[in-house]
């Protein structure tokens, strides 16, 4: 049982290797975009995982506001952090792909704009957690932030779609053939495993921090007597 | 001859004032203190004025370009000056240690929030009443034809901004660097209001491809409604003890 987590971590490393093999060796060259298209196998699953992290953070934060269990907050914190890592992968790989294909590093394409704004929201969440202090008030502040981010993501989507009405939505999934799709989903599940590992590591770290704080408080109280 | 006893003190009122009354009481209290000290309003106004100069120096150009820049300048001013006001929402209570008392009072907490949102909307509106005409003069944009529409857009935008910013400002009080964190946190969330406002204003000024300003107005109203209602509903859960 004690070896379970190290074994899982090793498996995660293998998963990353397999994902690279699939993306760079296994899958055939896409005809119109060429080699740059291979970045999709990381870019697209990472985007899904970023939104998964945001969703988990939203749910856990709402739960924390209702039941006030510090564990829920620790989970929300961990999922925001994990999601943010994958969000960073998205914003790094995106321009790398866009430059050769679109000819520009950045384009006000609705999906891109929405993603970057949501990323900013969760970056703000992370800043609050990292620099706001450890108190209960900050935990509540962060939870409210995550809960507010939920509907505001919807509004961002609607506004950005209307705003960037001239750009056609990126149609990447519709014209890709089966092997590309299959590889994409496989990479998603491989990266999902890594996501789960990272989430668990961060969750445990935050829970341990809570325990340490509780023990410190108790010791201080004992010392006071 | 017995001395007349002073009348027995009336038993303290145990029932909280009604919802609307609570809103009005908090609103009146804030209006009174603000009118006496003029702290927040004066700083917001001055900041708004400084911003108009920043925008004027930064963007002033030929009339056609100015017309295109105007919406962004107005909405930028609303957001920046608004942040200043929102950040001061509970500053006076915090300074006097009255925040706890306010929260502990039997008054409905969401009523307090509603009053604070109203205060912030009023402050933003007052600032915009000064800043927008000034921007129009400096950028030489004629707003007379669409003044009503733009005022309505800004008012709805100020409501949306305050509906998001006020509860977050309350929550931020317990964090370190609250005054720095607040804009970082609020701006990404209010981008929908900014987009809708800037687009709506350019429709009103006739510089956009679209001609119908109502969808953007409805959008901003919906935003304010969702966050206003959501914030009021959640506020009880946000501030306990």
Query: Would A154 be classed as within a structural domain?
Result: yes
Closest CA to B170 of B91, B237, B84: B91
The pLDDT assigned to A175 comes to 53
Contact B128, B45 (CB under 8 A): no
Q: Does some domain include residue A170?
A: no
Q: Which two tokens stand for residue A56?
A: 């988990």
Quickly list DSSP for B158-221. Answer: HHHHHHHHHHHHHHHTTSTTHHHHHHHHHHHHHHHHHHHHHHHHHHHHT-SS----HHHHHHHH
Chain A residues with CB-CB distance to B192 below 8 A: 152, 155-156, 158-159
CA gap B54, B98 in Å, rounded: 37
**Alpha-carbon span B169 to B167, nearest angstrom:** 5
**What phi-psi label fits residue B168: left (phi over 0), alpha (psi between -120 and 50 degrees) or beta?**
alpha
pLDDT at site A192: 94
pLDDT attached to residue A122: 93
Please report whether residue A204 resides in a domain: yes
Over the stretch A121-130, which tens digit does the pLDDT of each residue have? 999 999 999 9
Is B237–A148 a contact, with Cβ atoms under 8 angstroms apart?
no
Q: Which among A24, A10, A20, A66 has a CA at the least distance from the CA of A193?
A: A10
Chain A positions touching B161 (Cβ under 8 A) are none
CB of A93 closer than 8 Å to CB of A39: yes
Quick check: A149 contacting B, CB < 8 Å? yes
First to last CA, chain B: 52
Q: Are B50 and B17 in contact (CB under 8 A)?
A: no
Please say if the pLDDT value at position B178 is more than 60.
yes
Q: Can you tell me the mean pLDDT for B207-217?
A: 84
Q: Is B17 helix (H, G, I), strand (E, B) or coil?
A: coil
Q: By residue range, what is the domain housing residue A216?
A: 37-165+176-224
Q: Residue B154 pLDDT more than 90?
A: yes
Q: How many CB contacts within 8 angstroms connect chain A with chain B?
A: 94
- What residues in B contact A121, CB-CB < 8 Å? 188-189
Residue of B nearest to A64 (CA): B237
Contact B191, A112 (CB under 8 A): no
Contacting A with CB below 8 Å, chain B residues are: 164, 167-168, 171-177, 181, 184-185, 187-189, 191-192, 195-196, 199, 215-216, 219, 222-223, 226-227, 230-231, 234, 237-238
A78 belongs to a structural domain:
yes
- How far apart, in whole angstroms, are the C-alpha atoms of residue A147 and residue A60? 9
The predicted-structure confidence for A86-101, as pLDDT tens digits, reads as follows 999 999 998 888 888 8
Residue B119 has a pLDDT of 93
Q: What are the chain A neighbours of B184 within 8 Å (beta carbons)?
A: 124, 127
Determine, yes or no, domain membership for A1. no
pLDDT recorded at residue A180? 82
Q: Residue B173 and residue A66: Cβ atoms within 8 Å?
A: no
For chain B, percent of residues with pLDDT exceeding 90: 41
State the nearest Cα–Cα gap between A60 and chain B, in angstroms. Answer: 15
B117 has a pLDDT exceeding 70: yes
pLDDT at B3 over 60: no
Contact A148 B164 (CB under 8 A): yes
For chain A, which ranges sit under pLDDT 70? 1, 164-176, 224-225
CB A64 within 8 A of CB A143: yes
Number of domains comprising chain A: 1
A207, part of any domain? yes
| Residue bearing the bigger pLDDT, B26 or A163 | B26
Q: Please report the pLDDT score of residue B104 as a whole number.
A: 77
Closest by Cα among A202, A148, A195, A158 to A45: A195
- Give the nearest partner residue to A137 out of B164, B175, B196, using CB atoms: B175
* Residues in chain A closer than 8 A to B171 (CB atoms): 137, 140-141, 144-145
Is the ipTM higher than 0.85? The answer is no
A-chain residues within 8 Å CB-CB of B164?
148, 152
- Collect all residues of chain B within an 8 Å Cβ-Cβ radius of residue A136: 174
pLDDT at B98: 78
Residue B82 clears pLDDT 50, i.e. is over it: yes
Predicted local distance difference test score (pLDDT) of residue A170 = 52
Confidence of residue B9 (pLDDT cuts 50, 70, 90): low
- The reply to whether A7 falls in a domain is no
Instruction: Determine the distance in angstroms separating the CA of A111 from the nearest CA of chain B, rounded to an integer.
Output: 14
CA distances from A40 to A131, A166, A168 (A): 34, 24, 19
Give the integer Cα–Cα distance in Å for B230 and B227: 5
| Region B107-133 average pLDDT | 91
- A108 contacts in B (CB within 8 Å)? none
- CATH number, residue A213: 1.20.120
What letters, b where the CB count within 10 A reaches 16 and e where it falls short, cover B129-168? eebbebbbebbebebeebeebbebbbbbbbbbbbbbbbbb
Q: Which of A147, A159, A161, A164 to mutate to test the interface with B (most CBs of B within 10 A)?
A: A159
Q: Which residues 58-117 of chain A have a CB within 8 Å of chain B?
A: 65-66, 117
Residue A105 inside a domain? The answer is: yes
How far apart CA B126 and CA B124 sit, in angstroms, is: 5
Give the pLDDT of residue B50: 93
């Amino acid at each position: 049982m004690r070896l379970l987590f190290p074994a899982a971590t090793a498996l995660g490393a293998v998963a990353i290797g397999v994902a690279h093999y699939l993306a760079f060796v296994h899958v055939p060259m896409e005809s119109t975009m060429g080699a740059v298209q291979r970045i999709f196998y990381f870019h697209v699953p990472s985007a899904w995982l970023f939104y998964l992290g945001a969703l988990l953070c939203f749910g856990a934060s709402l739960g924390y506001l209702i039941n006030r269990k510090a564990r829920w907050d620790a989970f929300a914190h961990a999922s925001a952090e994990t999601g943010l890592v994958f969000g960073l992968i998205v914003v790094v790989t995106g321009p790398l792909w866009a430059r050769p294909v679109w000819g520009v590093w950045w384009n006000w394409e609705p999906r891109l704009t929405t993603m970057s704004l949501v990323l900013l929201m969760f970056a703000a969440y992370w800043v609050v957690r990292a620099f706001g202090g450890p108190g209960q008030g900050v935990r509540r502040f962060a939870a409210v932030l995550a809960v507010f981010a939920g509907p505001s993501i919807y509004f961002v989507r609607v506004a950005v779609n209307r705003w960037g009405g001239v750009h056609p939505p990126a149609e990447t999934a519709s014209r890709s053939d089966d092997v590309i799709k299959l590889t994409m989903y496989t990479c998603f599940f491989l990266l999902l495993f890594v996501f789960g590992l990272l989430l668990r590591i961060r969750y445990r770290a935050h829970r341990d921090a809570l325990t340490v704080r509780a023990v410190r408080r108790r010791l201080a109280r004992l010392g006071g007597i | 001859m017995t001395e007349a006893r002073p009348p027995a003190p009336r038993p303290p009122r145990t029932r909280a004032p009604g919802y609307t009354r609570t809103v009005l009481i908090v609103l009146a209290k804030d209006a009174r203190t603000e009118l006496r000290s003029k702290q927040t309003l004066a700083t917001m106004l001055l900041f708004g004025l400084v911003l108009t100069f920043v925008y004027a120096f930064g963007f002033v150009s030929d009339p056609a370009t100015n017309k295109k820049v105007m919406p962004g300048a107005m909405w930028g001013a609303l957001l920046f000056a608004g942040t200043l006001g929102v950040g001061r929402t509970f500053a006076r209570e915090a300074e006097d240690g009255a925040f706890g008392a306010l929260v502990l009072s039997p008054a409905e907490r969401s009523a307090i929030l509603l009053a604070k949102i109203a205060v912030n909307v009023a402050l933003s509106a007052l600032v915009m009443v000064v800043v927008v005409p000034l921007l129009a003069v400096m950028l030489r944009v004629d707003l007379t034809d669409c003044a009503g529409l733009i005022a309505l857009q800004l008012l709805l935008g100020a409501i949306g901004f305050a509906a998001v910013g006020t509860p977050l400002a309350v929550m931020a009080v317990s964090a370190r660097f609250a005054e720095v964190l607040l804009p970082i946190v609020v701006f990404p969330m209010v981008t929908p209001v900014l987009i809708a406002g800037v687009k709506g204003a350019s429709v009103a000024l006739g510089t956009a491809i679209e001609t119908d300003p109502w969808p953007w107005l409805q959008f901003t109203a919906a935003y304010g409604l969702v966050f206003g209602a959501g914030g009021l509903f959640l506020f009880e859960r946000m501030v306990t003890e």
